[in-house]
């Protein structure tokens, strides 16, 4: 195992923040796994603890047939953002920006560099494109903030990987994956192993999240250079490892083992692993997800358990104003699975309270909220 430390720029004088990456194994293929980019989403970090331990064992047994890079704490800025005993790990205190948005889009810089460079040899094109990505990132103007520096070092670390797993969680959630529709066939066995209950697919969810920053340039380059042979060389997914409180030891050990089984499917680990289950949930368009909001302030009671299958018209939650007695019931507008619930129980303007995954697109434009 190699330990690689990247010092972030712009730390306050007398302080220093470091992004730490652990590299295991060797070989032509590479997987990159990071956890807790939203620093208060800790199931990923707990799973990464198990992955680090197990990868060390597997490396010692000579069973790693590829490179696996692990960043168990992808957000050294957010991990320390405590405000009066509450952890705020989603938005940077300094800028108010979401840590998982605004990763530098590489496509334009790549197109300029790759004009006339790509041919009919897919493997050669992959190598050329990865060199161009590294060069494009290296030539960006100097980072203008610590957050800017963090985003770059994460993308630099991941962009040459064949496989990228970004481990997150929702407030209260079933196990679920976000991915590009084009990457779904390669991720199906991961979803099956993890027992995912929902998979949400979008080609452009908006906001330049980390997984898309890794995977989307390959799609766009195919469009710019239709005559060249360009494989989708980076399969990336955001894994929502259930809800924020789901850091139980047995559950996280099981998730780590399931991820290792998937890495074995991908040729990165040798030996005998359990077969991926043949059953898997159906993937649905992210645009088909209902985000259910309250109509007024008040205390919230959920009327469905997490993971419930609901039909259009079924009640999701009720909101009661304790002073005026105003009472409302918010219902499912579609058929689907109730895959996530807000953890706050007082309705806030503009904040979703429940999400239902349906099969028919009902939303347009930017799909990700902040």
- Rg (C-alpha) for the chain, rounded Å, is 21
Residue in the block written with tokens 């991961």: 190
Smallest gap from residue 41 Cβ to Zn ion (A):
5
Q: Which is nearer to Zn ion, 109 or 147 (CB)?
A: 147
- Residue 60 tokens read as 């010692």
- Choose which of 6, 23, 152, 168 interacts with Zn ion (CB under 5 A): 168
Smallest gap from residue 353 Cβ to Zn ion (A):
18
Judge residue 289's burial from the number of C-beta atoms within 10 Å of its C-beta, 0-12 exposed, 13-18 middle, 19 or more buried: buried
Smallest gap from residue 210 Cβ to Zn ion (A):
10
Q: Which is nearer to Zn ion, 75 or 266 (CB)?
A: 75
Smallest gap from residue 168 Cβ to Zn ion (A):
3
Residue ranges in the chain assigned as alpha helix (H):
43-60, 107-114, 122-138, 146-158, 184-194, 210-224, 249-265
Q: Stretches 32-40, 286-294, 305-313, 323-331: which one binds Zn ion (CB under 5 A)? A: 32-40
Binding-site size, Zn ion (CB under 5 A): 3
Q: Stretches 39-47, 204-212, 226-234, 292-300: which one binds Zn ion (CB under 5 A)? A: 39-47
Residue in the block written with tokens 């959630």: 173
Q: Which is nearer to Zn ion, 160 or 166 (CB)?
A: 166
**Exposure b/e, 309-335, CB count within 10 A at least 16 = b:** ebeeeeebbbbbeeeeeeeeebbbbbb
Q: Which is nearer to Zn ion, 41 or 148 (CB)?
A: 41
Q: Stretches 161-169, 241-249, 316-324, 337-345: which one binds Zn ion (CB under 5 A)? A: 161-169
- Choose which of 38, 46, 193, 341 interacts with Zn ion (CB under 5 A): 38
Q: Which is nearer to Zn ion, 251 or 270 (CB)?
A: 251
Q: Which is nearer to Zn ion, 287 or 368 (CB)?
A: 368
Smallest gap from residue 212 Cβ to Zn ion (A):
14
Smallest gap from residue 72 Cβ to Zn ion (A):
15
Site membership for Zn ion, residue 242 (CB under 5 A): no
Judge residue 84's burial from the number of C-beta atoms within 10 Å of its C-beta, 0-12 exposed, 13-18 middle, 19 or more buried: exposed
Q: Stretches 102-110, 168-176, 220-228, 301-309: which one binds Zn ion (CB under 5 A)? A: 168-176
Map residues 264-303 to x or -, x wherever contact with Zn ion holds by CB under 5 A: ----------------------------------------
The single-letter DSSP state of residue 117 is: T
Separation of alpha carbons 126 and 121, rounded Å: 9
CB 72 within 8 A of CB 22: yes
Q: Which is nearer to Zn ion, 133 or 194 (CB)?
A: 194
Q: How many of the other CB atoms lie within 10 Å of CB of 354?
A: 25
Greatest CA span in the chain, whole angstroms? 70
Smallest gap from residue 279 Cβ to Zn ion (A):
27
Strands (E), the chain: 2-7, 18-24, 30-35, 67-71, 82-83, 86-87, 163-170, 172-173, 176-179, 198-201, 235-243, 283-285, 289-292, 299-302, 309-310, 315-320, 327-331, 336-341, 354-357
Separation of alpha carbons 3 and 204, rounded Å: 34
In the complex, which residues of this chain contact Zn ion (CB under 5 A)? 38, 41, 168
């Amino acid at each position: 195992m190699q330990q690689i430390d990247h010092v972030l720029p712009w730390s306050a004088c007398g302080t220093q923040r470091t992004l730490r990456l652990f590299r295991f194994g060797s070989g032509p293929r590479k997987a990159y796994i990071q956890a807790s980019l939203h620093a208060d989403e800790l199931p990923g970090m707990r799973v990464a603890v198990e992955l680090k331990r197990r990868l060390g064992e597997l490396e010692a047994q000579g069973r790693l047939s590829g490179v696996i890079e692990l960043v168990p704490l992808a957000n050294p800025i957010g991990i320390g953002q405590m405000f009066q005993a509450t952890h705020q790990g989603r938005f940077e205190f300094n800028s108010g920006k979401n840590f998982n948005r605004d990763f530098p889009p590489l496509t334009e810089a790549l197109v300029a560099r790759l004009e006339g460079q790509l041919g009919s040899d897919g493997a050669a094109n992959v190598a050329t494109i990865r060199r161009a990505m590294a060069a494009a990132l290296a030539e960006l103007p100097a980072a203008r903030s610590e957050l800017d520096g963090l985003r770059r070092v994460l993308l630099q670390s991941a962009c040459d990987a064949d496989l990228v797993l970004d481990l997150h969680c929702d407030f209260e959630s079933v196990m679920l994956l976000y991915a590009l529709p084009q990457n779904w066939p390669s991720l199906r066995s991961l979803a099956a192993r993890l027992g995912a209950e929902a998979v949400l697919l979008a080609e452009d969810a908006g906001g330049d999240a980390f997984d898309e920053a890794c995977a989307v340039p390959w799609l766009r380059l195919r469009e710019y250079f239709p005559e060249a042979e360009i494989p989708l060389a980076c399969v990336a997914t955001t894994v929502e490892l259930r809800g924020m409180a789901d850091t139980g030891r047995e559950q996280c050990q099981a998730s780590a083992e399931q991820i290792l089984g998937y890495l074995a499917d991908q040729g990165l680990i040798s030996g005998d692993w359990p077969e991926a289950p043949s059953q898997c949930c159906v993937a649905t368009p992210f645009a088909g997800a209902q985000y259910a909001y309250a109509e007024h302030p008040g205390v919230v009671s959920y009327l469905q358990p997490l993971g419930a299958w609901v039909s259009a018209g079924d009640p999701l939650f009720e909101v009661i104003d304790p002073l005026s007695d105003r009472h409302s019931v918010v219902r499912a507008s579609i058929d689907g699975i109730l895959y996530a619930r807000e953890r706050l129980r007082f309705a806030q303007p503009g904040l979703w309270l429940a999400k239902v995954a349906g099969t028919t697109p009902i939303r347009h434009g930017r799909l990700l909220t902040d």
